Chains A and B, each alone.
Chain A
Amino acid sequence: MILFYLFALLSVFGALGVLFLRNPIHGAMSLVGSFFSLAAVYVMMQAEFVAVIQVLVYAGAIMVLFLFVLMLLSLRDEGPSFIRWSVGKVLAVVIAFGIWAQLALVLGQHDPEALVPQIVSSGEEADSIKLIGQLLFTEYLLPFEAISLLLLVAVIGAVVIAKRRYPGSSS
């Protein structure tokens, strides 16, 4: 239980690092730390599959992609990293804090455990990877195929968008 609060605190600090560190690379590393502590939280919630996916895909693939792009683009001084308009700053803080306050208010007024309908499981463990695999290829087969198509479209789109256009080529 103590470990949960420790890793929760670490992930919040990582997120704050993204918000406040001026250098985007430092922000990206802080975000990787936040993702790792979230994976630890998932392990504590008995969701091992999600934890593994979190480390492999988020910390491993997506953040490496971010770091590659940050390396490709030369990091000049970008000037002020926050918005200059101070009214906008205040407005942004008010909006974000308002969203958080609303969520916390709803959570404070209702006990979330009472709202959740209890589904009687078949006695199996809630997060066994075997069950997830079976579910993926039976009940969720159509979304699975659709998502693979989405990945293909994303790959082609990325190649087309990021392709360097040479002078003299028709496009």
Chain B
Amino acid sequence: MMQIPLGHILVLSSMLFSIGVLGVLLRRNAIVIFMSIELMLNAVNLSFVGFAQSMNSLNGVMFIFFIIVVAAAEAVVGLSIILSLYRSRRTLNIDEFNLLRW
């Protein structure tokens, strides 16, 4: 089977990462912002797999294992924060949350 060139994988990864950045910066829905963060984590995972394949080493795969666990923990805590925010403010629009603004 032909190996996919590393450059193509990295370009795909950078495209996904930039779309994630754009989502975080543009969207105002807190949950959509969280989904964009997951997208960025996925882009990083993709480049890890690309380098692991290119170096013929398993350390990249181990890193992905840990990244995915951290992403799961982050999603759980973040979504519970969103839930309790929604209970107090009845909205998900992050423009309404100005508790920490000076």
A interface residue numbers (CB < 8 A to B): 1, 4, 8, 11-12, 15-16, 18-19, 24, 27-28, 31, 34-35, 38, 41-42, 44-47, 49-50, 53-54, 57-58, 61-62, 65-66, 69-70, 72-73, 78-84, 88-89, 91-93, 95-97, 99-100, 103-104, 107, 111-113, 116-121, 126-127, 131-132, 135-136, 140, 143, 147, 150-151, 153-155, 157-159, 161-162, 164
Of A4, A18, A119, the contact of B56 (CB 8 Å cutoff) = A119
**Pairwise interchain contact A65-B75, C-beta atoms closer than 8 A:** yes
B52 CB contacts on chain A under 8 angstroms:
47, 126-127
**Pairwise interchain contact A96-B25, C-beta atoms closer than 8 A:** yes
**Pairwise interchain contact B72-A61, C-beta atoms closer than 8 A:** yes
Of A53, A61, A73, A158, the contact of B80 (CB 8 Å cutoff) = A158
Q: How far is the CB of B88 from chain A (nearest CB, A)?
A: 10
Separation of A112 and B84 alpha carbons in the complex (Å)? 45
**Pairwise interchain contact B28-A82, C-beta atoms closer than 8 A:** yes
B74 CB contacts on chain A under 8 angstroms:
154
A-B pairs under 8 A by CB, number: 233
B interface residue numbers (CB < 8 A to A): 1-2, 4-12, 14-23, 25-29, 31-32, 34-36, 38-39, 42, 45-46, 49-58, 61-62, 64-66, 68-77, 79-84, 86-87, 91-93, 95
**Pairwise interchain contact A47-B15, C-beta atoms closer than 8 A:** no
Q: Check A47/B49 contact, CB under 8 A, given A58-B68, A155-B76.
A: yes
Separation of A136 and B35 alpha carbons in the complex (Å)? 29
B83 CB contacts on chain A under 8 angstroms:
69, 72-73, 161-162
Q: Identify the closest chain A residue to B53 (Cβ).
A: A45
**Pairwise interchain contact A65-B11, C-beta atoms closer than 8 A:** no
Separation of A54 and B82 alpha carbons in the complex (Å)? 24
Q: Top 4 A-B pairs ranked by shortest CB distance?
A: A92-B25, A154-B73, A162-B80, A100-B18
**Pairwise interchain contact B38-A31, C-beta atoms closer than 8 A:** yes
